[in-house]
Amino acid sequence: MISGIINTFANCFKIPELKSRIIFTVLVLGVCRLAAIIPLPGLDGAALADYFAKNAAKSGGGLLGMYSMFTGGALERCALGSLGIMPYISATIIIQLLTAVIPQLSKLAREEGGRTKIVQYGRYLTVILCVGQGFVMALGWQDPQSIFKDFAGELVLVGPAWWYLLQTTVLLTASTMLLMWLGEQITERGIGNGVSLIITIGILARLPVAMRGTWFMFTPEAGDHQKNIFHAIALVLLLCSVVAGVIAVTQAQRKIPVQYAQRAVGRKVYSGGSSFMPLRVNYAGVMPIIFAQAILMFPQKIFETLGGRLNLQFLRDIGSAMHYGGFFYMACEALMILFFSYFWVATQFNELQISDDLKKYGGYIPGIRPGKETSEFLHNTMSRITLAGAIFLAGIAVVPMVLYQSLDVPLEVASFFGGTSILITVGVVLDTMRQMESHLLMRHYDGFLKKGRIRGRF
């Protein structure tokens, strides 16, 4: 099996077009990694990186930890790419949600050239989000004790303050826009989805840190936290199980049979046929986990701040109960993942439009009347399979926290056993391999699911 995969990758470089696309993608991703390494002028990135390394358990959870993971550690180094590609992702999500609820945008999306305008609106919104988030991030670096209470020292090394804020905001905005453009270039001229690959390469950049943390777990320096061979076997089995489960659920779909009746359009007669409508089990992808983790970051800070200023112990107790990895935090995150899974399906899956399109083109689901009954059938079916996908997402999301809290696994190691990192990485790898396989099959090469031998010439 391994030799077959190696042969298949070797076949990829025998196709000139695919070879150039792969090389272009690798080079552009290398440029993206430079943005996560080059420090911003006037900031002591080494001091913040040292703080993150020594306080991974405190700084690794919540929104800051998720942002740092998506940027490949750029946030920890005060690098140019500290904002990463996330403002563009956020702008795209906001535009998608607005398109589903605002009739004018929904109508524009169905018009010729409308999608191009909506993409342009997303870019404008990205600039606005970059300016706002970049300014807030610059303020946070200016007063690091407001975010990291036990941080000693200063990060800003230059003055005056207004020039530092302006310079940092502009550089962060320009870097994110550059990453967005590079991602679009990968999608157009490379292989795979460019934006997703940029996020994935940032996640994989943390792999050496996780491997070092894993090795430290089995060395005498770990002291009372040292693990034995049985822990290693359990971790390997858990990782394999999680990856296999993510692949299975990512690929899983409910196939709804669709029958098309014979119809006449003008003088042409189109014969009927049968097909199927695939309904994905994990329709929302990783979005529910991102929404839940981002929202749960704020209540803890709000309750702790209010409890301290108003001297109310019960507010401080609520904030303490919502700390990352606690039972109450995990329960809230699981419930919010369930909610956002259905919310995403409700805004993105339009069963009424699908039913109308089927009726328009002479299609129907066997045993179901066209029109209202078809839309109700699709709604009920999607609700049932979404529940299964949402429960799986909730289970994957709590795996790192259970490992960290209950089994005393370092957070930088536990984060690779579930949550957003494993879902994004597996999904992007599957999508990229699918695109590469389509190029191979068009030129009579075996894909990744076969032995990898050459069956013909191109």
Is residue 314 domain-shared with residue 436, that is, in the same domain?
no
User: What's the pLDDT score for residue 453?
Assistant: 41
Do the beta carbons of residue 417 and residue 242 sit within 8 Å?
Answer: yes
**Same domain as 278, residue 188:** no
Contact (Cβ atoms closer than 8 angstroms) between residue 345 and residue 242? no
CA-nearest of 215, 206, 209, 181 to 195 is 181
Statement to judge: residues 425 and 305 lie in one domain: no
Q: What is the pLDDT of residue 126?
A: 92
- Sorted by sequence, the CB contacts under 8 Å of residue 236 that are 6+ apart come out as none
The answer to whether residues 282 and 362 belong to one domain is yes
Confidence of residue 458 (pLDDT cuts 50, 70, 90): very low
pLDDT category, 262, cuts 50, 70, 90? low
- Asked if residue 254 and residue 138 are part of one domain, the reply reads no
- Quote the tokens at residue 304: 């702790």
Check pLDDT > 80 for residue 85. Answer: yes
Residue 97 to residue 89: CA distance in whole angstroms? 12
C-alpha–C-alpha distance, residues 73 and 64, integer Å: 11
- Asked if 251 and 167 sit in the same domain, the reply is no
pLDDT at res. 387: 92
Whether the Cβ atoms of residue 83 and residue 176 lie closer than 8 Å to each other: yes
Query: For the residues 16-40, what does the mean pLDDT come to?
Result: 89
Give the amino acid at 97.
L
Q: What is the average per-residue pLDDT within 112-122?
A: 84
Q: How far apart are CA 228 and CA 8, in angstroms?
A: 38
Domain-embedded: residue 211: no
**Residue 172, by phi and psi: left (phi above 0), alpha (psi -120 to 50) or beta?**
alpha
Task: Looking at the structure, tell me whether residues 199 and 279 fall in a common domain.
Answer: no
Query: Residue 210 falls within a domain, yes or no?
Result: no
The pLDDT-based confidence of 455 (bands split at 50, 70, 90) is very low
Task: Decide if 53 contacts 283 (C-beta within 8 A).
Answer: no
Residue written as token pair 């359009």? 265
CB 210 within 8 A of CB 122: no
CATH number of the domain at 12, please. Answer: 1.10.3370.10
**What pLDDT score was predicted for residue 56?**
54
Cα separation, 160 vs 158, whole angstroms: 7
Cα 134 to Cα 139: distance, rounded to the nearest angstrom: 9
Pick the range with the lowest mean pLDDT from 185-194, 296-305, 388-397. Answer: 296-305
Is residue 215 included in any domain, yes or no?
no
**127 and 271, same domain (yes or no):** no
With H, G, I as helix, E, B as strand and everything else as coil, classify residue 139: helix
Contacts of 227 (CB under 8 A, 6+ apart): 217, 218
Note whether 453 and 339 are same-domain residues.
no
Query: In a 3-state reduction of DSSP, which class is residue 260?
Result: strand
Same-domain status, 410 and 450: no
Tell me which residue range forms the domain holding 356: 235-417
pLDDT tens digits, one per residue of 222-231 = 666 667 778 7
| 101: CB partners within 8 A, 6+ apart | 347
Give the closest residue to 282 by CA, choosing from 257, 255, 258, 248: 248
d(CA 21, CA 186): 8
12 and 446 Cβ atoms separated by less than 8 Å: no
**How many domains are there within the chain?**
2
Please, which pLDDT band fits residue 128 given cuts at 50, 70 and 90? Answer: very high
The pTM for the full model equals 0.78
Sign of the C-alpha dihedral, residues 413, 419, 424, 425?
positive
Q: Does residue 330 register a pLDDT over 80?
A: yes
Is 80 exceeded by the pLDDT of residue 257?
A: yes
Q: Taking residues 234-260, what's their average pLDDT?
A: 86
pLDDT tens digit sequence for 434-453: 888 887 777 665 555 544 44
Please report the pLDDT score of residue 185 as a whole number: 92
pLDDT exceeds 90 at position 27: yes
Q: What tokens appear for 299 in the block?
A: 């209540």
| Segments in 206-350 forming alpha helices (H) | 207-217, 229-251, 287-310, 313-321, 327-348
CB of 79 within 8 A of CB of 37?
Answer: yes
Q: Say whether both 116 and 186 belong to one domain.
A: yes
Task: Give the span between the Cα atoms of 184 and 180, in whole angstroms.
Answer: 6
In a domain, 218, yes or no: no
- Check residue 172 and give its pLDDT: 92
Same domain, yes or no: 349 and 293: yes
pLDDT tens column, 159-202: 788 888 899 999 999 999 999 999 999 988 888 888 888 888 88
Task: Answer whether residue 402 shows pLDDT above 50.
Answer: yes
Query: In the prediction, which pLDDT does 131 show?
Result: 92
* Residue 425 placed within a domain: yes
Q: What percent of the chain has pLDDT over 90?
A: 10
- To 10 degrees, what angle do helices 372-405 and 287-310 make? 60
In a domain, 133, yes or no: yes
